[in-house]
Amino acid sequence: TRSSRPQRMLAHVKRHAARGDPQSVIDAIDYFCRHKEWAMNVGDEKGTILDSVVCEVSPGAVLELGTYCGYSTMRIARLLAPGARLITLEFNPANAAVARQVIAWAGLEHKVQLVEGSSGDLIPQMREKFGIDSFDLVFLDHWKDWYLPDTRLMEELGLLHKGSVLLADNVICPGAPEYLAYVRSSPRYDSRYFKSHLEYTYVEDGLEKSVFPGASAGSRP
């Protein structure tokens, strides 16, 4: 059967990127998506905003919702301190299989735990299965209507601590209006919009960065 776009992207990485060199894998994917076939990676422009937030937070525990081909997984993992951990959740097994190979080509597999399944099912298992108490940074990049319910779930499970940062992709395109309304109106978050463009295009898009000031915020004194 005909190969998939993620499979063709992986073949391009193996042909053009150096093993163990995350930047060369990132550059190869950006080249493929800009000059051969568009794909829904966060991309180079929004990627530099992601990089700056990761460096600012310097997280010990990161959760990524929506791995796709592992592009943002690599952008985050390459900046993590020794011992810091990144758990990434992917719904689609075929995409997960490609992402594992992309992450391995970059030599970052020891920093990343890729878990297949639905975020709604897996988030409640974070403590028992992965020994995670809370996340310092969450990158939301999966189904856009799942951003809000998954955020509420993380709040209720106590997986966010004072200062935890949520960074959400695609808040304009395709858009996550209910999520945006929530984080921008809730006294529980300090939220800021980083204007950018939809990956590899001139269409507006951006990232929303929301800092969780603590569960007590917004409740009665």
Ligand X SMILES: O=C(CSCCNC(=O)c1cc(-c2ccc(F)cc2)cc(O)c1O)c1ccc(O)c(O)c1
Whether the bond into 124 is cis, omega within 30 of 0: no
Shortest reach from residue 42's CB to Mg ion, in Å? 5
- Residue among 44, 64, 136, 141 flagged as catalytic: 141
Task: Find which of Mg ion, ligand X, none residue 118 binds, CB within 5 to 8 Å per kind.
Answer: ligand X
Active-site choice (144, 150, 205, 209): 144
Q: Would residue 170 show up in a list of annotated catalytic residues for this protein?
A: yes
Of residues 44 and 141, the one with the C-beta less far from Mg ion = 141
Phi–psi pair at 203, nearest 5 degrees? -70, 140
14 in catalytic set: no
Both structure tokens of 168: 């959400």
DSSP conformation class of 3? P
- Least CB distance from residue 6 to ligand X, whole Å? 11
d(CA 113, CA 120): 17
Residue 141: active-site member: yes
Which option in Mg ion, ligand X, none does residue 174 bind, with CB closer than 5 to 8 A by kind?
A: ligand X
Q: Is 27 a catalytic residue?
A: no
Residues found near ligand X in the complex (CB under 6 A): 40, 65-66, 68, 89-92, 118-119, 141-143, 146, 169-170, 173-174, 198-199
Q: Which amino acid is at 48?
A: T
Q: What are the start-end ranges of the H helices in 78-118?
A: 93-105
In the complex with ligand X, the residue whose CB is nearer, 173 or 215, is 173
Binding site for Mg ion (CB under 5 A): 141, 169-170
Residue 163, token pair as written in the block = 């200062």
d(CA 26, CA 29): 5
Is 205 annotated in the active site? no
> What burial class does residue 163 get, using C-beta atoms within 10 Å of its C-beta: 0-12 exposed, 13-18 middle, 19+ buried?
exposed
Nearer to ligand X, 21 or 116 (CB): 116
61: β partners:
85
CA 205, CA 169: separation in Å to the nearest integer? 8
In the bound state with ligand X, the residue whose beta carbon lies nearer, of 93 and 217, is 93
The residues that are catalytic are: 141, 144, 169-170, 199
